[in-house]
Structure 1
Amino acid sequence: MELKERILLKAEALFWKFGTRSITMDDISRDIGISKKTLYQHFTDKDDIVYQVMLYRLDKNRENVSCKMATAHNPIEEILLASEIMREHLAEMNPTLWFDVQRHYPRAWEVCTEFKEKFVLESIRANLKKGIEQALYRPEIDVEIMARLRVELIRMAFDTEVFPRGLTAMVEVQIQLLHHFVRGILTEKGLLIYNQYVKEHQNDPASTTL
């Protein structure tokens, strides 16, 4: 692994655990075991490293989700698998991270916004259209409204004012919101497939879907 990628992974782990504001360049260099001089040979400042960490992570997420979704047998399994990948990565994330990035790192936040608009929303729209075409989702749903609702439900799970950390784990919140959303758009045919999927995965210790 190249040094720059190792730095990105180490910095990402620190940001995910503690958020971005409390982590300094000194913390990053010390955690990796390199000098600050070496760190600055790869990144101009902390703003740059936050930006590149987000760019690196979102590219990996896009790749992982696309590969996983390609294995799905139907739109219902597709949306559940995509959400599972997201939760696997976000399980240990400090909920304040996204809000810190939004407030203090505009360049990194622009990358996050682009990922949401060009990948997440487009993927959900495509999934909803496919589900309607296959009579698994209700034909009367508004694809644009439902796609944006799904994105907002994901974002809401990070909001500690809505879901205090002591109330329940963020992953559990994501699971509950996902299944609430999916059940609300299913036809009777879709509900049969959904229930079968739930039955097959609820006793699977390797699955985080339920």
Structure 2
Amino acid sequence: MKEKIITKSTDLFLNLGFKSVTMDDIANEMGISKKTIYQHFKNKTKLVEATALNVFENIACGIDQICALNKNPIEEVYKIKRFVMHNLKDEKSSPQYQLQKYYPKIYATLKGKQFEKMLGCVTQNLERGIAQNLYRDSIEIDFVARLYFNNMVSLKDQDIFPREQFSMPTLMNNYLEYHLRGICSNKGLETLTQLHINQN
């Protein structure tokens, strides 16, 4: 039952937001009593924490599987982006932003885990890209990897990018283009252009 509650709560939180979904809403959606939820989770904060970590684990696992395919590093960046966006429901309810605002402790824990995961993943991507002559060998790998993470976090800041003005898919596409054009070699730029042609 605990897993079912986490699954349903994740769906509701990602679609409607952590703040607006109540324990009553979850109980009604599942056709169970609120008491049943409280048998597994002491309060809503504990449930939010469980769902946030569950989403992170699922995404981290999916990213590992994509990286294991050993694809062209530029293609890999876009494949990961599509996977993450799909799992976050295109961030309709801006989950990261809501976590930061209403559950700052959970957000801080999650951000630490995301940083660790993304730093490793991006570093490997950059190393492979340089080895395959797709990225310039003069780039500072650690600097670019940290900058990449920081910019990804900034995209979710609604004070900088209000949702009514910027959709998350557009922001992600624009940022990846910006990131890749900044690090690609001439060979990499040809690959990037070819990828765009194939996607259109």
Q: Please, what TM-score do these two structures have when normalized by structure 2? A: 0.90
In 2, Cα distance between equivalents of 1:70 and 1:20: 32
* CA deviation profile, 1:121-159 (whole Å, cap 9, x unmatched): 110011112212222111121112211221122222222
**2:126 and 2:135 in contact (8 A); partners too:** yes
RMSD in angstroms over aligned alpha carbons? 1.8
TM-aligned CA deviation for residue 106 of structure 1: 4.5
Match of 1:71 in 2: 69
Match of 2:156 in 1: 158
TM-aligned CA deviation for residue 118 of structure 1: 1.9
Which runs of structure 1 show a deviation greater than 4 angstroms over 4 or more consecutive aligned residues?
A: none
In 1, Cα distance between equivalents of 2:164 and 2:13: 21
* CA deviation profile, 1:31-80 (whole Å, cap 9, x unmatched): 22111111111111111101110111111101111212323432111122
Secondary structure of the structure 2 residue equivalent to 1:136 = coil
**1:138 and 1:187 in contact (8 A); partners too:** yes
Secondary structure of the structure 2 residue equivalent to 1:21 = coil
In 2, Cα distance between equivalents of 1:99 and 1:131: 32
In 2, Cα distance between equivalents of 1:66 and 1:34: 35
In 2, Cα distance between equivalents of 1:114 and 1:152: 12
Choose between structure 1 and 2: higher helix proportion.
Answer: 2
Equivalent pairs counted in the alignment come to 199
Of 115, 118, 121, the residue aligned with 1:120 is 118
In 2, Cα distance between equivalents of 1:89 and 1:177: 19
In 2, Cα distance between equivalents of 1:92 and 1:58: 14
In 1, Cα distance between equivalents of 2:38 and 2:127: 47
Q: Please, what TM-score do these two structures have when normalized by structure 1? A: 0.86
Structure 1: runs of 5+ lacking an equivalent: 203-210
Between the aligned residues of both structures, percent identity stands at 32
Match of 1:192 in 2: 190
Match of 1:105 in 2: 103
Structure 2: runs of 5+ lacking an equivalent: none
Secondary structure of the structure 1 residue equivalent to 2:4 = helix
